[in-house]
A and B are shown apart, each in its own frame.
Chain A
């Protein structure tokens, strides 16, 4: 079965979202860790900011990313009519 124009647009939207979420993932992980020593003086909830990010912040961001992706893709499936139905 060939993919229709509709399918191609669905895939493009999917790729765009995947790219954006991946960029956030990259910044939260490697961006913050790279500058960890420079961000030492910032404080969040009593933690030094880099410590907070590595121990909690990044994990919460990952959860949000994965949760958002699952929710948004579910919507996208319906919008483009490629969902599995019930």
Chain B
């Protein structure tokens, strides 16, 4: 114990020095910026240095010891395991996507905030201490020992790989976006650069290396998230604690929403005018869509010819340059074939329909025009919260982290620290969304087109889908309905909105990179370990020597990385859906079997197999038949969105475990003794039976 506390205080010293170093580095770079070093170079230095540092920690932590490789030697102090879990947990979706989702959806987006934190209550109460007492290496390990035989273990391996792989694709996708946006590299190259650094971290040192890089990544990501928000909060409220200050700002935003929605005020009248134009444009596009459906290719050709004729007429008349430009751009953007035209015009109709509607109040829960819409929103909100929570308590890469603490007591404490470190970001994201909204509603809206803030034009140049302002009613003043903001912009542009130097923007990019890298690290390790430990060592060759086990694990890691990069480069689907799907899948497959395995001695092998298979199947089938990507488009069950498929899978999983167990023989005395073993932190006779 003395050794452990010395280890702990040593770690605190190292990481304090490290945090100081990070701050010093930021200061140094801002001096370089003042001296006139170009932004692109600063971006390169920032990303390069942080990635090199993670790789360095990975190399320093290399190990060839099995326990070090799989569970970091089980000596990670609770505080540091908390930080590592937080970094493991908070992905690119939390760091970049969450505040943007909240900006766009207001109250309804808070399902993610509650879901992604409340799940830790379930981890603490039902799983972490017991898994730590069990004290093996992976989650399928527990299923294998508790239920006996290879069946439950194999299903566990399949489910662990399925949900981790879905999740890791989303991370690598985010990684590629960040690297390509901030260094100007191609998306594909960005993916491989990011992946290379992940491999450096986990390849040589397994869990041990991943833990220590995750702790350092947590420091960077939280500093990067906080600095701009604190600054913005001081700017708008004079209060440096955004979480407290934004209640007042939210009131201002609500008041402003009412003004903008009221056509009797001057600002509201201008909004109404723009909305009228948008509504008209929507109807026109709908007419064109109708004509396209009727006329097909012929209609498209005629339309293109009309645009060409107009352009050449304008050129002949020597019309104003802006007008010619506009016509040329319109022709250039004209869809190539019927399918493209159909998609593009559908999207335009949808965008105009959203923008011509009155502003939904930010703080209003389940806003909708009628009772049915509101009820539907409430139902889906609750279902999503439930799936995210249960999924949190079932994702193998998170549960695995609780094997690494020194004791059961430390495991319980470590859940507390994890939740604390996670909450720091999750309490801030809603504040950021409101502060950014306030900025847009009061400073951008009503400003003149001739003097737009510089961040607006900067981001317009990067991507029109992220930021676009166009003077629709030609009055020279910005109206809210003329502004398009993509969700991902909020976090990335906050430093500029707050008027901070470019260094902070680079810091935010490095923070996003840290978030994506740390999660991808944990996930890939989970997949490789499930294959090498559970499949190879436990099922194929139990006599394999240590060296061979680790070599196979590392080889698999490489293979998984290449597969993941390949799938990512195909750019599949929607990130938020993939992340949500991973939660529903994990919750349906693991949660019932794990919890009943600890809390119900009667649960047995048949029950586990029936429960896991039926839960997972229901969840997968529901996603398959309802998510538009797969093209089946069956009607929804009780209007539940496909992202919350777990709301059906999880209860079916519980029912399956219970029915399957009751209908077959109770488990053996040895298995019942294992249940007692995991329930009590210490029992007389525990000594000498550490491994089941």
Contacts and interface: CB of A to CB of B under 8 A. Distances in A.
B118 A63 contact: no
A69 to B, nearest CB: 6
B685 A11 contact: no
A40 B362 CA distance: 12
A55 B110 contact: yes
Contacts of B341: none
Interface in A39-86: 40, 45-48, 50-52, 54-56, 58-60, 62-63, 65-67, 69-70, 73-74, 77, 82-86
Interface in B376-433: 378, 381-382, 385-386, 389, 407-409, 412-413, 415-416, 419-420, 423, 426-427, 430
B671 interface: no
B680 A7 contact: yes
Interface in A1-31: 1-3, 7, 10-11, 14-15, 18, 21-22, 25, 29-30
B118 A7 contact: no
B9 interface: no
B369 to A, nearest CB: 14
Nearest to B430: A55
Contacts of B381: 33
Interface stretch (B241-249, B270-278, B497-505): B241-249
A25 B120 contact: no
A25 B682 contact: no
B364 interface: yes
Contacts of B244: 45
B679 interface: yes
A48 B386 CA distance: 23
B365 A50 contact: yes
B250 interface: yes
Interface stretch (B121-129, B142-150, B632-640): B121-129
Interface residues of B, number: 57
A2 to B, nearest CB: 8
B676 A74 contact: no
B250 A46 contact: yes
A24 to B, nearest CB: 9
Contacts of A67: 416
Contacts, number: 147
A52 B251 CA distance: 12
B682 A7 contact: no
Interface of chain B: mostly helix, strand, loop or mixed = helix
B475 interface: no
B363 A83 contact: no
B370 interface: no
Interface string B664-684: 000000000100110111111
Contact of B682 (A2, A33, A82): A82
Contacts of B113: 54-55, 59
Given A45-B244, A51-B110, A62-B121, A86 B1 contact: yes
B440 interface: no
Nearest to A36: B365
A36 to B, nearest CB: 4
Contacts of B118: 25, 29, 58, 62
Given A18-B125, A33-B381, A82-B683, A62 B419 contact: yes
B680 A10 contact: yes
Nearest to A52: B247
A54 B682 contact: no
A40 B416 contact: no
A86 B248 CA distance: 49
Contact of A70 (B124, B426, B681): B124
B374 interface: yes
Contact of B378 (A3, A10, A34, A48): A34
Nearest to A48: B363
A46 B107 contact: no
Given A70-B416, A82-B681, A83-B682, A59 B673 contact: no
A84 B408 contact: yes
A52 B244 CA distance: 11
A34 B62 CA distance: 50
A66 B409 contact: no
Given A45-B247, A70-B412, A54 B686 contact: no
Contact of A56 (B122, B243, B366): B243
Nearest to B133: A84
A20 B129 CA distance: 18
Contacts of A69: 124-125, 412
Contacts of B122: 25
A69 B413 CA distance: 9
B117 interface: yes
Q: 5 closest pairs, A vs B, by CB?
A: A46-B247, A1-B685, A36-B365, A54-B110, A70-B412
Interface of A: 1-3, 7, 10-11, 14-15, 18, 21-22, 25, 29-30, 33-34, 36-37, 40, 45-48, 50-52, 54-56, 58-60, 62-63, 65-67, 69-70, 73-74, 77, 82-86
30 contacts: A1-B673, A1-B685, A21-B121, A21-B125, A22-B125, A25-B122, A29-B118, A29-B385, A33-B378, A36-B107, A36-B366, A37-B366, A45-B244, A47-B363, A52-B247, A54-B107, A54-B111, A55-B110, A58-B118, A59-B423, A63-B423, A69-B412, A70-B416, A74-B409, A74-B412, A77-B408, A82-B680, A83-B682, A84-B681, A86-B1
